[in-house]
Amino acid sequence: MEKNDVYLWLKSISGVTDKTIEKIEDSIEDIEDLIYFSDKEIYNLQNINLNIKENIVKYKSRAYLDNIKEKLYKKSVKYVCKNHDDYPEKLRNIYNPPKVLFYKGDISLLKKNFNIAMVGSRKPSSYGINCAKTISKKLSNDGVGIISGLALGIDSYSHLGCLEGMSKTIAVLGSGVDNPLPKQNIGLSDKILADGGLILSEYGIDSKVFPYNFSNRNRIISGLSEGVIVVEAAMKSGALITVDFALEQGKMVFAVPGNINSEMSRGCHKIIKDGAKLIENIDDILNEYNLITINNVENNNNCDNIVLNAEYKKIIELIKKEGSLHIDKICDYTGIEIKYINSILNELELKDLIIEMNNKTYSLNL
The answer on 115 and 46 residing in a single domain is no
Band (307; pLDDT cuts 50, 70, 90): very low
Number of domains the chain contains: 3
List the CATH number of the domain containing 347.
1.10.10.10
pLDDT at 337: 81
Q: Does residue 92 form part of some domain?
A: no
Lowest mean pLDDT among 165-179, 269-283, 298-312: 298-312
d(CA 153, CA 120): 7
Radius of gyration of the chain (CA): 24
Prior bond to 180 cis, omega within 30? Answer: no
β-strand 100-105 against 78-81: which pairing, if any?
antiparallel
pLDDT of 124 strictly over 90: yes
Contact 278, 272 (CB under 8 A): yes
Q: For the residues 69-84, what does the mean pLDDT come to?
A: 96
Q: For the residues 319-331, what does the mean pLDDT come to?
A: 89
Q: Does residue 86 form part of some domain?
A: no
Q: What b/e sequence results for 127-160 when a residue is b if at least 16 CB atoms lie within 10 Å of its CB, and e otherwise?
A: bbbbbbbbbbbbbbbbbbbbbbbbbbbbbbbbbb
Contact 224, 199 (CB under 8 A): no
Band (300; pLDDT cuts 50, 70, 90): very low
CA separation, residue 227 to residues 119, 161, 169, 235, 274 (Å): 11, 18, 15, 20, 16
Average pLDDT across the chain, whole number: 90
pTM tops 0.85:
no
Residue % of the chain over a pLDDT of 70? 95
| pLDDT tens readout for residues 85-123 | 899 999 998 999 999 999 999 999 998 789 999 999 999
List the CATH number of the domain containing 232.
3.40.50.450
Range of the domain at 267: 109-289
Q: Does residue 146 form part of some domain?
A: yes
Which of 74, 89, 121 is the last residue before a domain boundary? Answer: 74
pLDDT at 366: 67
Q: 338 or 45, which is more confident? A: 45
Q: 232 or 351, which is more confident? A: 232
Lowest mean pLDDT among 30-34, 47-51, 206-210: 206-210
- How far is it between the farthest Cα atoms of the chain? 88
The answer on 311 and 275 residing in a single domain is no
Query: What's 94's DSSP letter?
Result: S
Residues in CB range of 163: below 8 A, 6 or more apart: 140, 169, 191, 192, 195, 197
Q: Which of 103, 128, 354 is nearest to 229 (CA)?
A: 128
Q: Does residue 45 form part of some domain?
A: yes
Q: What b/e sequence results for 174-187 when a residue is b if at least 16 CB atoms lie within 10 Å of its CB, and e otherwise?
A: bbbbbbbbeeebee
